[in-house]
């Protein structure tokens, strides 16, 4: 018998590779504040909220700022980030994503977005996927950031599914932790060693083969 399951997708690093745009904007801010910001540093910001990302960046540069300055730089960084987002098109959907969504639609499996990004609705519009999701939960809807499970629990509720019947797809350590705390099955996208708390890890979204999906629902 087929199991009733639903999917909840992270956005950045799962559906699109926006980390490169976050990196350019954060690096410019770091340079402006007088220190270097590397791609390794950028890894620390994956899955982390915008405000927390600034805190991490400032601790890397050992820079202290007033609340007012922090607000100013958050706006500046996001404005620059949005200049890249506004140029995004359907071409930026990562390999494997469209095939997976087509499979889920064909099998009447619903799916939601569960992202930390406040820019998630705009990004989905830009890449033409906004209307495909049954529910959207993003950085504007949560009071607690991943690894808190709030974002995924709201997603499950909106899909009217029990957490244990939800499959989360995540590329960040904090997101994998959130999914496991929520009692959901978690597919990690990235490095097996890094995402070692996930139930299974694929190096990218093409890992969702027909065999894997059939096993999951049967
Ligand atoms: C997450 C990204 O999805 O969203 C983080 O992995 C980012 O790197 C966070 O900081 C918040 O994004 P935004 O778009 O609200 O600044
Ligand atoms: Mg992510």
Binding pocket residue ranges, ligand 1, CB within 6 Å: 11-13, 22, 45-50, 53, 78, 115-119, 139, 172
pLDDT band at 137 (very low <50, low <70, confident <90, very high): very high
Average pLDDT over residues 97-114: 98
Chain segment 113-135, per-residue pLDDT in tens: 999 999 999 999 999 999 999 99
Q: What pLDDT is attached to residue 134? A: 98
Considering just the CA atoms, what is the radius of gyration of the chain in Å? Answer: 17
Chain segment 48-57, per-residue pLDDT in tens: 999 999 999 9
Q: What pLDDT is attached to residue 3? A: 75
Across-strand partners of 186? 168
Q: What pLDDT is attached to residue 83? A: 98
Q: What pLDDT is attached to residue 218? A: 86
Q: What pLDDT is attached to residue 107? A: 96
For CATH 3.40.50.1000, the residue range(s) in the chain are 6-17+90-217
Structure tokens at 32: 């402006």
Q: What pLDDT is attached to residue 1? A: 61
User: Ligand 1 centre from 44 Cα, in Å?
Assistant: 12
Which class is domain 6-17+90-217? alpha beta
Chain segment 15-40, per-residue pLDDT in tens: 999 999 999 999 999 999 999 999 99
Chain segment 141-158, per-residue pLDDT in tens: 999 999 999 999 999 999
For CATH 1.10.150.240, the residue range(s) in the chain are 19-85
Which residues, including other chains, have CB under 8 Å from residue 173's CB and lie 6 or more apart? 46, 47, 147, 194, 195, 197
pLDDT, averaged across the chain: 96
Q: What pLDDT is attached to residue 209? A: 97
Distance CA 159, CA 157 (A): 5
Ligand 1 mutation target, pool 21, 57, 117, most atoms within 8 A of CB? 117
Is 12 among the residues known to form the active site? yes
Distance CA 14, CA 17 (A): 7
Of ligand 1's atoms, which has the minimum distance to the CA of residue 45? 8
Is 148 among the residues known to form the active site? no
pTM, entire model: 0.95
Pick the CATH number of 19-85 from 3.40.630.30, 3.50.30.50, 3.50.50.60, 1.10.150.240: 1.10.150.240
Q: Is the pLDDT of residue 84 over 70?
A: yes
Q: What pLDDT is attached to residue 68? A: 98
């Amino acid at each position: 018998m087929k199991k009733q399951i639903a999917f909840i997708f992270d956005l950045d690093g799962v559906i699109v590779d926006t980390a490169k745009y976050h990196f350019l904007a954060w690096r410019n801010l770091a340079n402006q504040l007088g220190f270097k910001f590397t791609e390794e540093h950028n890894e620390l910001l994956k899955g982390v909220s915008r405000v927390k990302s600034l805190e991490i960046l400032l601790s890397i540069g050992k820079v202290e700022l007033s609340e007012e300055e922090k607000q100013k730089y958050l706006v500046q960084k996001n404005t620059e980030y949005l200049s890249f987002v506004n140029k995004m098109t359907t071409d930026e959907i990562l390999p494997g994503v469209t095939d997976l969504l087509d499979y889920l639609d064909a099998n009447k499996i619903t799916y939601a977005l569960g992202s930390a990004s406040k820019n998630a609705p705009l990004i989905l519009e830009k890449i033409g996927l906004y209307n495909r999701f049954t529910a959207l939960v993003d950085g504007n809807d949560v009071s607690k950031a991943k690894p808190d499970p709030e974002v995924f629990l709201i997603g499950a509720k909106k899909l009217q599914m029990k957490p244990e019947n939800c499959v989360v797809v995540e590329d960040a350590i904090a997101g994998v932790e959130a999914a496991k705390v929520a009692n959901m099955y978690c597919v990690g996208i990235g490095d097996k060693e890094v995402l070692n708390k996930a139930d299974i890890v694929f190096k990218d979204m093409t890992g969702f083969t027909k065999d894997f999906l059939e096993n999951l629902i049967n």
